[in-house]
Amino acid sequence: MERILDKGRLGAWVAALADWTVLAPALQDGIWAYVPVAGAEEGLTLGHPNTVQPPKGQSFPQREVFFSFDETEDGKPRLTPLVPSPANRVVLGVRPCDGRALTHLDRVFGEEAPDAYYQARRGTLAYVGLACNKPPSRHCFCTSVGGSPFGEEGLDVLMIDLSDRYLVRALTPVGEALMTAGQGALTEAGADDRAEAQQRRLAALAHPQRTVAKPQAVPQRLKAGFGSALWERLAQPCIGCGICTFLCPTCHCFDINDEVAGQSPVCGSRVRTWDSCQFPDFTMHSSGHNPRADLGARLRQRVCHKFQYFFENHGAFQCTGCGRCITACPVGIDIVTVVNQVAAEAAPVQPADC
């Protein structure tokens, strides 16, 4: 299903989605974030760069309570599971890189051991994507990690900006439902609309971006470069914060803690929170031994997870090239540079490779 949405009618479409909570990008307290919108507001537009945080938290929130626990009168433990039952949510204006990231999360939390909490949130979540006519950030590099500025993976709807209007394309049954619900705001798309959209797509693909060199060789070369001294050198300015991982649309590491609220009777809850491989205590053993004690090892873990381990397990780079970790890194650590340098060093010395 493809339709045309006049830019001025965006609010009307949102207003028609009565059964959904709609989140749209807004500049709030100085940052771009997805915030709930009711719809009919005048001037609801999608002129945003990429948001500071991806919409990852909608399916994998920073804090998830698994269950609460307490003691019964006779001192026996009692668990009360707390599986979320969120309302239907639509995230509007999702960039294709973030849409694609959702499919990676689906693999992690869905394939081998389905995560009930993730599934409950994911099942009620829809992404309405917005194609990138030009890269929203100078650090974008989606094309060299297998993505596309017009990519459709993970999205339920893709909107393509045609200056005064959007071409709106349903990609899933949920997407069709969203468009059906908003049909009052949508009009038929014509061949010229489609042609213009195609033009935009070709222009976007042709737009220069940061590039990971020889991506197909990267997993192998990272593997070869595991012991490289470059890791430590590249991590030299690293301060060991969690920005790169917490802003990443695909990072999914977590910690599980019992938050004890009272000692007598014992009560509290078991909570999953985001964790970061960049934190010094991430791999700290209770013996005091830390297998990744230095910053180089932690940088290597982050990069290799994205470009080697995930590839080995799932056949795709985990990184979707959104560029957030580059933009927000306080000291300029640039994942594209890191990958390229380590891979280049590990490249077999063959003229063809240079």
Report d(CA 95, CA 131) in Å as an integer. 6
By C-beta, is 98 or 152 nearer to other proteins?
98
Shortest separation between residue 47's beta carbon and other proteins, angstroms = 13
Strand-pair category, 2-6 with 186-188: antiparallel
Residue list 187-226, contact with other proteins (CB under 8 A): none
The DSSP annotation for 122-168 comes to: HTTEEEEEE--SS-SSTT--GGGGT--TT--TT-SEEEEE-SSEEEE
Shortest separation between residue 5's beta carbon and other proteins, angstroms = 27
Does residue 227 interact with other proteins by CB under 8 A? no
Report d(CA 321, CA 176) in Å as an integer. 28
Cα 297-301-307 angle, rounded to 5 deg = 140
Does residue 284 interact with other proteins by CB under 8 A? yes
Residue list 308-347, contact with other proteins (CB under 8 A): 326-334, 336-337
By C-beta, is 45 or 273 nearer to other proteins?
273
CA end-to-end span of the chain: 46
Report d(CA 176, CA 155) in Å as an integer. 12
Residue list 244-283, contact with other proteins (CB under 8 A): 245-247, 255, 257, 259, 261-266, 268-269, 271, 273-276, 279-281
Residue list 155-194, contact with other proteins (CB under 8 A): none
By C-beta, is 33 or 316 nearer to other proteins?
33
Report d(CA 261, CA 230) in Å as an integer. 45
Does residue 298 interact with other proteins by CB under 8 A? no
Q: Are 244 and 329 in contact (CB under 8 A)?
A: yes
Residue 301's nearest CA partner among 287, 289, 283 is 283
Number of residues lying near other proteins (CB under 8 A)? 60
Q: By three-state DSSP, how is residue 80 classified?
A: strand
Q: Candidates 294, 297, 316, 344: give the one binding other proteins (CB under 8 A).
A: 294
CA quadruple 346, 207, 243, 128: dihedral sign = negative
Q: What are phi and psi of 322, to 5 degrees?
A: -75, -25
By C-beta, is 63 or 78 nearer to other proteins?
63
What is the strand order of the sheet 63-71 is part of? 77-81, 63-71, 266-274, 254-263
By C-beta, is 48 or 314 nearer to other proteins?
48
Per-residue binding letters, 66-95, with other proteins (x by CB under 8 A): --x-------------x-------------
Shortest separation between residue 197's beta carbon and other proteins, angstroms = 26
Strand-pair category, 165-170 with 2-6: antiparallel
Q: Candidates 1, 65, 224, 297: give the one binding other proteins (CB under 8 A).
A: 65
Per-residue binding letters, 117-146, with other proteins (x by CB under 8 A): --------------------xxx-------
By C-beta, is 4 or 328 nearer to other proteins?
328
Q: Are 226 and 29 in contact (CB under 8 A)?
A: no
By C-beta, is 110 or 268 nearer to other proteins?
268
Q: Candidates 18, 29, 87, 164: give the one binding other proteins (CB under 8 A).
A: 29
Give me the residues that bind other proteins (CB under 8 A), please.
29-31, 52-53, 62-63, 65, 68, 82, 137-139, 236-237, 239-243, 245-247, 255, 257, 259, 261-266, 268-269, 271, 273-276, 279-281, 284, 286-288, 290, 293-294, 326-334, 336-337
